[in-house]
């Protein structure tokens, strides 16, 4: 790094916040799955929006690109430098203030570096609820989950991270600051700019703070593990439960028998919730106001009807929070119980999930006899984590990807439901998106970042 550039950065953020020593930078130059590595000039840690703006202006003058980084828990390499040009990593972690909590407005203002669990807790302290919840919540940051429009386990009821945002503050590519920190449920005064920056993975500007929506905190939940014959039964069950119980259906997770077996083999304390084996399962959760007993009995009535009609083979309703936690532990152990295989994060219309599974299984059986696939995911969102093994197949990843992605494309689906494009799917997406849509994205990129300094080599 040029000493003058370093001095200029230090003048903005303080010398201690320009990291150049390898021991300090190493963790910032690699993603957490260690799939991507790239060296940048340094890691800069601003403490305020003004400091971010000054750093961006300086980088603009020097022609240095900027890689914004939050908790660095992304799965697509979107926060890792590419090494293809002069870059700095801009780490937002010091901007971790919750600026305001307003329970009467059901909103709070958080800076980009706030860790998700801290935001959840701030909402809880105010008697409210922030519904975004995902595995990395103890280390991922607000700026990161907004920039990747993170999903998680509550999307069915509350929507993606995008749907939890009322306003944003963004440092633009020229270092100017757009103060869009409005807390308005309704505002029809022109183009909705916030949605442009949310999910853009830092390629159009740097989100430095956000106004987040809070919700009423449900007072009770009821959980069941349900055995089914086919994925089609799962989709029909979801429609029936929502028709009967309404929007309180807050989770609806599909699990194949093979996933359950992997968990039973992997986790010592795990138990099969239903004595007899069945080909497919669904983990259902209801959340609502009222008592645990009343919610449990509503779920029981609904499921008994389904069993009577033959739409469900069997069901185990959790009799306590402890039992509910054990059911969730099975679902949450699936990723670690079947690690060495080719993973996908895809989505289709909810009604097309059965067809997707049917087509992928048929194509896999043809190309890779004896293949073992692990199918699970947020079927209520049409989102499957479709993992294909065993390990030997990892070497043939492109062929396996091709089968899954072609089936997804044939059904009008998405090759990245939750995890974004980053570096991982930047090339692949050009095979799937209408060229016109890519052109539209490029023209927005040119309009907002004409010099291409915002997180280059990601998304587009």
Residues 226-285 that bind its own copies (CB under 8 A): 235-236, 238-239, 242-248
Q: Which of 95, 146, 198, 284 binds its own copies (CB under 8 A)?
A: 198
The reply on whether position 416 binds its own copies by CB under 8 A is yes
Return the number of the residue (93 or 167) whose C-beta is nearest its own copies: 167
Strands (E), 318-419: 345-347, 372-378, 383-389
Nearest approach in angstroms of CB 296 to its own copies is 15
The reply on whether position 53 binds its own copies by CB under 8 A is no
Specify the DSSP element, H or E, that contains 147. Answer: helix 142-147
Q: Which of 62, 102, 314, 358 binds its own copies (CB under 8 A)?
A: 102
Rounded Cα distance, 417 and 144, in Å:
16
Residue with tokens 């007899």: 276
The reply on whether position 410 binds its own copies by CB under 8 A is no
Give the total of residues touching its own copies (CB under 8 A): 96
Which residues between 125 and 144 bind its own copies (CB under 8 A)? 127
Which residues between 339 and 398 bind its own copies (CB under 8 A)? 347-352, 378, 380-383
Which residues between 159 and 188 bind its own copies (CB under 8 A)? 159-160, 162-163, 172, 176-180, 182-188
Q: Where on the phi/psi map is residue 43: left (φ > 0), alpha (ψ -120 to 50), or beta?
A: beta
Return the number of the residue (326 or 441) whose C-beta is nearest its own copies: 441
- Which range in 47-55, 56-64, 308-316, 417-425 contacts its own copies by CB under 8 A? 417-425
- Which range in 44-52, 303-311, 355-363, 418-426 contacts its own copies by CB under 8 A? 418-426
What does the block give as tokens for 36?
Answer: 């991507």
Strand partners, 372: 389
328: number of Cβ within 10 Å: 18
What backbone torsions phi and psi does residue 203 show, to the nearest 5 degrees? -90, -5
Classify strands 220-228 and 314-317 as parallel, antiparallel or unpaired.
antiparallel
Contact call for residues 213 and 142 (beta carbons, < 8 A): no
Classify strands 43-44 and 87-91 as parallel, antiparallel or unpaired.
parallel
The SS3 of residue 414 is strand
What does the block give as tokens for 86?
Answer: 């002069």
The reply on whether position 193 binds its own copies by CB under 8 A is yes
Q: Which of 21, 34, 190, 309 binds its own copies (CB under 8 A)?
A: 190
Contact call for residues 267 and 329 (beta carbons, < 8 A): yes
Which residues between 423 and 452 bind its own copies (CB under 8 A)? 425, 429, 432-434, 436-438, 440-441, 443-444, 446-448
The reply on whether position 407 binds its own copies by CB under 8 A is no
Return the number of the residue (35 or 244) whose C-beta is nearest its own copies: 244
What backbone torsions phi and psi does residue 166 show, to the nearest 5 degrees? -95, -30
Nearest approach in angstroms of CB 395 to its own copies is 26
Rounded Cα distance, 352 and 355, in Å:
5
The reply on whether position 84 binds its own copies by CB under 8 A is no
Nearest approach in angstroms of CB 167 to its own copies is 9
Rounded Cα distance, 90 and 103, in Å:
32
The reply on whether position 104 binds its own copies by CB under 8 A is yes
């Amino acid at each position: 790094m040029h000493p003058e550039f370093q001095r200029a950065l230090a003048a903005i953020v303080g010398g201690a916040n320009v990291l150049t020593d390898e021991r300090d930078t190493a963790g910032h130059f690699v993603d957490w799955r260690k799939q991507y590595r790239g060296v940048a000039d340094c890691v800069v840690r601003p403490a305020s929006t003004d400091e971010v703006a000054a750093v961006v202006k300086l980088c603009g003058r020097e022609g240095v690109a900027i890689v914004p980084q939050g908790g660095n828990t992304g799965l697509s390499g979107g926060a890792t430098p590419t090494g293809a040009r002069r870059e700095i990593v801009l780490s937002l972690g010091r901007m971790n203030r919750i600026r305001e909590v307003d329970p009467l407005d059901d909103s709070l203002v958080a800076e980009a570096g706030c860790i998700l669990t801290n935001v959840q807790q701030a909402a809880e302290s105010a008697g409210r609820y922030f519904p975004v919840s995902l595995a990395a919540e103890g280390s991922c940051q607000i700026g990161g989950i907004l920039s990747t429009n993170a999903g998680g386990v509550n999307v069915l009821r509350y929507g993606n991270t995008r749907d939890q945002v009322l306003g944003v503050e963004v440092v633009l590519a020229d270092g100017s600051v757009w103060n869009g920190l409005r807390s308005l449920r309704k505002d029809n005064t022109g183009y909705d700019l916030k949605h442009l920056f949310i999910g853009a993975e830092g390629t159009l500007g740097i989100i430095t703070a956000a106004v987040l929506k809070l919700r009423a905190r449900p007072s009770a939940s009821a959980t069941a593990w349900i055995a089914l014959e086919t994925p089609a039964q799962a989709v029909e069950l979801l429609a029936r439960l929502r028709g009967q119980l309404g929007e309180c259906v807050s989770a609806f997770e599909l699990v194949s028998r093979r996933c359950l077996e992997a968990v039973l083999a992997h986790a010592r304390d795990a138990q099969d919730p239903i004595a007899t084996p069945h080909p497919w399962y669904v983990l259902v959760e209801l959340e609502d106001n009222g008592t645990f007993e009343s919610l449990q009995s509503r779920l029981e009535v609904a499921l008994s009807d389904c069993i009577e009609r033959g739409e469900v083979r069997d069901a185990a309703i959790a009799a306590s929070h402890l039992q509910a936690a054990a059911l969730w532990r099975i679902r949450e152990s699936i990723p670690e119980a079947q690690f060495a295989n080719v993973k996908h994060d895809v989505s289709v219309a909810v009604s097309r999930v059965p067809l997707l599974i049917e087509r992928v299984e048929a194509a896999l059986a043809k190309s890779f006899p004896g293949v073992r696939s692990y199918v699970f995911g947020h079927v209520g969102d049409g989102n499957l984590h479709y993992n294909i093994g065993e390990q030997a197949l990892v070497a043939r990843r492109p062929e396996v990807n091709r089968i899954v992605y072609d089936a997804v494309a044939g059904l009008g689906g998405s090759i990245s439901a939750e995890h974004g494009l980053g570096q991982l799917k930047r090339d692949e997406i050009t095979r799937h998106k209408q060229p016109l849509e890519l052109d539209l994205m490029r023209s927005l990129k040119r309009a907002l970042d004409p010099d291409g300094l915002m997180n280059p080599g990601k998304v587009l």
